[in-house]
Amino acid sequence: MSEAQREKHEAILDSAFEIFGKKGFYDTKISDITEHAGIAKGTMYLYFKSKEELFSAVTRRDWEGFLRELNYQIKHADGLPGKLQKIAEHHLVYYYERKAHTKLFFHAPNNDPELMRMMHGFLSRYMAAVQGVLEEAGMPDPDFYAKAYIGMLDRLKMDILFEGTFTREELEKRVRQTVCLFLQGSERELND
Amino acid sequence: MSEAQREKHEAILDSAFEIFGKKGFYDTKISDITEHAGIAKGTMYLYFKSKEELFSAVTRRDWEGFLRELNYQIKHADGLPGKLQKIAEHHLVYYYERKAHTKLFFHAPNNDPELMRMMHGFLSRYMAAVQGVLEEAGMPDPDFYAKAYIGMLDRLKMDILFEGTFTREELEKRVRQTVCLFLQGSERELND
Amino acid sequence: MSEAQREKHEAILDSAFEIFGKKGFYDTKISDITEHAGIAKGTMYLYFKSKEELFSAVTRRDWEGFLRELNYQIKHADGLPGKLQKIAEHHLVYYYERKAHTKLFFHAPNNDPELMRMMHGFLSRYMAAVQGVLEEAGMPDPDFYAKAYIGMLDRLKMDILFEGTFTREELEKRVRQTVCLFLQGSERELND
Amino acid sequence: MSEAQREKHEAILDSAFEIFGKKGFYDTKISDITEHAGIAKGTMYLYFKSKEELFSAVTRRDWEGFLRELNYQIKHADGLPGKLQKIAEHHLVYYYERKAHTKLFFHAPNNDPELMRMMHGFLSRYMAAVQGVLEEAGMPDPDFYAKAYIGMLDRLKMDILFEGTFTREELEKRVRQTVCLFLQGSERELND
DNA sequence: AATGAATGAGTATTCATTCAT
DNA sequence: TATGAATGAATACTCATTCAT
């Protein structure tokens, strides 16, 4: 693939990310994307096999970036609390930066087994990364703890996505609270 | 509405729960549901305004049952740990019993604002119930803690839904672990 | 048919005249009419065989009234000009009084051969009445002249139906002009 | 639009004129038209927005031809009687040639405001042309006389459309009679 | 490589009519 | 007679994908 082709490939992905993120999979027409990219409808099919595959490619690029950055953050943080904090921060900031593209996560194609498999793979890699951190620290049952940690983060992202007024400061507070809850539990907060 | 009508209304909901749960919203044809219910296509429209509304009604009935049972469990449990345990158990058992209907949760109509609003309402009521338990126990920032707790449970349900071999025993273990993590944190598990 | 039945029969026709006249054949639902008449849907079918037949019956009643009155007017007028004037007056006043029911004339069922035949019959009787007047006065080719006269009137009714501001005075003026044109032609109006 | 496209556009209009004219708007399926034109169903929608718009386009093309020819005839005729004769001839010949397409005029879509507006516009242009002829000849109240003249013609066309045996000779006779009636009236025909 | 005209499968919904009560 | 719940036929339109140029 030539340099020019690589650029067109990226341009299509950029447009698709924009439009899918704004209107969702089903409300997006191929022509919406190709017009936004300034190319003909047929051209998209030279680069991607189908609308579903284009959506998959958008998602894949996004997730690969997520995981690359995640692993970088984990590698450059020290200690379990430090690493957990970076993980939480990364998770929440990621969605904070994609507030305008929520439909990418909530209006995906409903019945594409290929996409399902891919998403499952990404979640596994995310899981594995967190599990690795916990194992390294000597945590037993890292599978359970990793899932629980990610679950917390995933629920907390909701406010970020759908509450227009959520600030970066509140986000940082959530990060600290989550790490603290995960490590020390909530009991110590109770009035005896 | 007569008794006979109430029964037909329920019968349609039962069929819709079955078929939507098995094939998802988009892959289900109205005729699939009405044939399964043994009625004519037009009859469905005497009871529900549209396919979307039928899906909403199925979801609503299910969620109302979820919340009714949840509140019952909370009321009849004692102490914070006891109540948290019942909440976790309820959440996970609910999905355990609906393993055969996963599409109900993952293949809903993508862009029905009415349904979105309704789901949001149910999540709020779920949140409020958990928050109430935490507040009662004197927990500060109950909003944050409730979200984190529900997040953990929601992530853990995934294995239940998609891992065919998940047993009731494993489920009970997950419940105990979750309560323990939530109250005491994970740090104490570390090998120093 | 009992008296009560005759009354219900008329009540249904009255409702149908109202609703068909306001919304047209295709945009009128049987239930619109029966609700307006305060009866059940099925009851209509005890009095009329179908929606088309109901429309036909409405039209028939209206036309029969038109023709009855027409013949009465013709009988009680003297001389050709007098009779022609009454005919014109009757035609235009008839539509003037039905300004609120235009859809009865312009949104009839499109493909009901029965109705077509019936309408044709009424037009023939209308024609015959006018022809009779002309024949009586010794007019040759009364078929042609009757058609021409009715054609003029029918075109002139349009303003009455669709021009909201049309007054009874203007209507009377039209009547006089039409009779005059028909008898004496337009040439004498020319500036030589 | 390329030459090939212009041709396809016309081909669709031709087919639609045929089928609408034979079966009427409501009894014509889009697939009837596209099959007759030898194209796919979707292709029609590349050229026309909807079934209604296609019908409008057919009607428009037909009326534009009618008005073009009308104005040509008027321009090339001399004197009021000559011009009136050409108008009558044109009106009646037009329908004579469309005897096989009556449904185009009597089974149009019932409630398309766009089409109503368009038809109104064409009638106005027809009116204006006739009015122009009368005004030019110094006729007072040309609005009334134009309407009356067109009304006569419009009623006379009926025999042409629905009487299978109507000949061109009879048509010419009707034309002469109509002009004569319009100019000189019918009174002079009376036996005193 | 790029184009964009042509294709055609696929389905929710309405409402006149019936008939058991 | 009157009711009204149940029926089921019937059809326009969209848009992802193809392929001749």
Q: Is C79 on the interface with D (CB under 8 A)?
A: no
Q: What is the mean pLDDT of residues D40-60?
A: 96
Please tell me which of the candidates B138, B177, B186 has its beta carbon nearest to residue A190: B138
Supply the pLDDT for residue A112: 86
Q: Which helix (H) or strand (E) holds D62?
A: helix D51-75
Q: What is the pLDDT of residue A191?
A: 66
Instruction: Say whether D190 and C137 touch across the interface (CB within 8 A).
Output: yes
CATH number for region B56-189: 1.10.357.10
Please give, rounded to a whole number of angstroms, the shortest distance from the CA of A143 to a CA of chain B.
10
Q: Do chains A and B touch (3 or more CB pairs under 8 A)?
A: yes
Nearest CA in chain D to C155: D151
User: Taking the domains of chain A in order of start, what are their residue ranges?
Assistant: 51-189
Q: Which helix (H) or strand (E) holds C149?
A: helix C142-162
Q: Give the mean model confidence (pLDDT) for residues C109-124.
A: 91
Closest CA to B182 of B152, B144, B138: B152
Of A110, A158, A184, the CB nearest to B185: A184
Find, among B68, B63, B55, the residue nearest to B12 by Cα. B55
User: Which numeric CATH code is attached to D53-189?
Assistant: 1.10.357.10
pLDDT above 80 (res D192): no
Chains that touch D (3 or more CB pairs under 8 A): C
Mean pLDDT score across all residues of chain A:
95
Check if residue B167 sits with its Cβ under 7 angstroms from strand E: no
| Cβ partners under 8 Å of residue C173, min gap 6 | none
> A70-97 in b/e burial notation, b at 16+ Cβ within 10 A?
beebbeebeebeebbbbbbbbbbbbbbe
Is 90 exceeded by the pLDDT of residue A189?
A: no
Q: Pick the closest to residue D62 from D21, D34, D8, D26 (CA basis).
A: D21
Query: D88: closest CA among D29, D148, D46, D12?
Result: D148
The reported pLDDT for the residue numbered C1 is 67
Q: How many alpha carbons lie under 13 Å from residue B32 in its C-beta half-sphere?
A: 15
HSE, CB side, 13 Å, CA atoms: give it for residue C149.
36
Q: To the nearest whole number, what is the mean pLDDT of chain C?
A: 95
Q: What is the pLDDT of residues C22-61, one digit of tens each?
A: 999 999 999 999 999 999 999 999 999 999 999 999 999 9
pLDDT at residue B15 above 70?
yes
Contact between the CB of C7 and strand F at under 7 Å: no
Quickly state the pLDDT bin for B192 (edges 50, 70, 90).
low
Q: Chains that contact B by 3+ CB pairs under 8 Å?
A: A
- Residues D3-26 pLDDT 10s: 889 999 999 999 999 999 999 999
pLDDT tens-digit map of B17-67: 999 999 999 999 999 999 999 999 999 999 999 999 999 999 999 999 999
Q: Can you tell me whether residue B120 is helix, strand or coil?
A: helix
A chain contacts of residue B174, beta-carbon cutoff 8 Å: 144
State mean pLDDT over A166-181: 96
Q: What tens digit of pLDDT does each residue of A18-76 get?
A: 999 999 999 999 999 999 999 999 999 999 999 999 999 999 999 999 999 999 999 99
End-to-end CA distance of chain B: 67
In CATH, the number for domain A51-189 is: 1.10.357.10
Q: What is the pLDDT of residues A119-128, one digit of tens each?
A: 999 999 999 9
Residues of B in Cβ contact (< 8 Å) with A158: 147
pLDDT bucket at C192, cuts 50 / 70 / 90: low
* Cβ–Cβ under 8 Å, residues B107 and A110: yes
State the pLDDT at residue B1: 67
B129 pLDDT band, cuts 50/70/90, is: very high
Mean per-residue pLDDT, B158-168: 92
Query: How far is the C-alpha of B174 from the C-alpha of D189, rounded, in Å?
Result: 108
Q: Is the pLDDT of residue D189 over 90?
A: no
Label residue B104 exposed, middle or buried (CB < 10 Å: 0-12, 13-18, 19+).
buried
The stretch A103-132 carries a mean pLDDT of 93
Average pLDDT over residues B73-92: 97
For chain C, say whether D156 makes contact (Cβ under 8 Å): yes
SS3 of chain D: helix, strand, coil, percent, to 5:
80, 0, 20
CB of A46 within 8 Å of any CB in chain B?
A: no
What the block records as the tokens of C99 is 């300004």
| Whether the predicted pLDDT of A192 surpasses 80 | no
Q: Which residues contact A100 (CB under 8 A, 6 or more apart)?
A: A21, A22
Amino acid B164: pLDDT:
87
User: Best residue in B152, B163, B190 to probe A by mutation, most A CBs within 10 Å?
Assistant: B152
Given a cut of 80, whether residue D191 has pLDDT beyond it is no
Length of chain D equals 192
Distance CA A130, CA A135 (A): 9
Average pLDDT over residues B151-177: 94
* Of residues D38, D139, D26, D122, the one with CA closest to residue D79: D139
pLDDT(B99) > 70: yes
Task: Summarize pLDDT for D122-181 with one digit per residue, the tens.
Answer: 999 999 999 999 999 999 999 999 999 999 999 999 999 988 899 999 999 999 999 999
The answer on pLDDT for B121 being more than 90 is: yes
Cβ of A177 near strand E (distance < 7 A): no
Contact B110 A25 (CB under 8 A): yes
At D49 the pLDDT is 95
Q: Which DSSP string do the residues of chain A spell out, in sequence order? A: --HHHHHHHHHHHHHHHHHHHHHHHHH--HHHHHHHHTS-HHHHHHH-SSHHHHHHHHHHHHHHHHHHHHHHHHHT--HHHHHHHHHHHHHHHHHHHTGGGTHHHHS--SS-HHHHHHHHHHHHHHHHHHHHHHHHTT-SSHHHHHHHHHHHHHHHHHHHHH-TT--HHHHHHHHHHHHHHHHH-SGGGS--
Residue C85 contacts by C-beta under 8 Å, 6 or more apart in sequence?
Answer: C77, C175, C176, C179
Partners of D80 on chain C (C-beta within 8 Å) are 190
The CATH homologous superfamily for domain C57-189 is: Tetracycline Repressor, domain 2 (1.10.357.10)
* B138/A contact by beta carbon, under 8 A: yes
* pLDDT number for residue C191: 66
Name every chain B residue with its beta carbon within 8 A of the beta carbon of A140: 189
Q: With beta carbons less than 8 A apart as the criterion, state whether B118 and B60 touch.
A: yes
The reply to whether A87 touches chain B by the CB within 8 Å rule is: no
D116 interfacial to chain C (CB closer than 8 Å)? no
Q: Copy the structure tokens of residue C156.
A: 């002139």
Interchain proximity D185–C189, CB inside 8 Å: no
Q: Please check whether residue A95 is in contact with residue A161, taking contact to mean a CB–CB distance below 8 angstroms.
A: yes
CB under 8 Å to C7, separation ≥6 — which residues?
A: none
Q: Within 7 Å: CB of C40 and strand F?
A: yes
pLDDT band at D72 (very low <50, low <70, confident <90, very high): very high
Nucleotides of E under 7 A from a protein CB: 1-20
Distance from CA of C40 to the nearest CA of D (A): 28
CB count within 10 Å of CB D167 equals 11
Record the tokens describing residue B140, joined without a space: 């500060």
